[in-house]
């Protein structure tokens, strides 16, 4: 869990190199839990994105960065600073993370989502297979729902 948090970038790179070496030598996988999108891009083959303790997107790493599906994943990637791109203010996902003790039947990302549908207020979207090796838990990708926004 966050194995390189608060490390100098040089030390971080050394730790990540060491972990890659151990992974290759032992022919095993590594499960990283991190908020660092740079580490995700460098280390991961597959990514599971979670919000409020729920899986909202599963994807190969390249596809996730090229075309994020879930609005939360889109917001995460949009909030990442881009080298050589000056902005007066970095993007921040609006709203607050919900209180885990008061989560109801609605989509947990509802109050922070700029693409929410009426059904989002009523029930959680299931994690659905997109047929392309990806999964997403969002009503935006339900054919029978999207036509009735």
Confidence at residue 136, expressed as pLDDT on a 0 to 100 scale:
97
Residue ranges in the chain whose pLDDT is less than 70? 1, 143-149
SS (H, E, C) 34-53: CCCHHHHHHHCCEEEEEECC
Confidence at residue 147, expressed as pLDDT on a 0 to 100 scale:
45
How far does the chain reach from its first CA to its final CA, in angstroms?
39
Confidence at residue 88, expressed as pLDDT on a 0 to 100 scale:
77
- Closest residue by Cα to residue 20 from 53, 44, 49, 2: 44
Sequence ranges of the domains in the chain: 1-44, 45-146
Confidence at residue 9, expressed as pLDDT on a 0 to 100 scale:
87
- pTM here? 0.86
| Rounded Cα distance, 8 and 112, in Å | 33
* 97 secondary structure, DSSP code: P
Confidence at residue 1, expressed as pLDDT on a 0 to 100 scale:
67
């Amino acid at each position: 869990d966050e194995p390189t948090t608060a490390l100098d970038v040089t030390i971080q790179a050394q730790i990540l190199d060491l972990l890659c070496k151990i992974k290759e030598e032992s022919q095993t996988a590594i499960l990283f839990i991190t908020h660092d999108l740079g580490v995700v891009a460098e280390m991961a083959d597959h990514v599971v994105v979670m919000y409020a303790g729920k899986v909202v997107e599963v994807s190969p790493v390249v596809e996730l960065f090229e075309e994020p599906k879930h609005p939360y994943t889109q917001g995460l990637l949009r909030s990442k600073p881009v080298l050589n791109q000056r902005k007066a203010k970095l993007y921040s996902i609006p709203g607050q993370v919900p209180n885990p003790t008061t989560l109801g039947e609605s989509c947990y990302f509802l109050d922070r989502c700029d693409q929410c549908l009426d059904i989002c207020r009523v029930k959680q979207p299931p994690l659905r297979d997109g047929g392309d090796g990806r999964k997403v838990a969002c009503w935006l990708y339900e054919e029978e729902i999207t036509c009735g926004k």
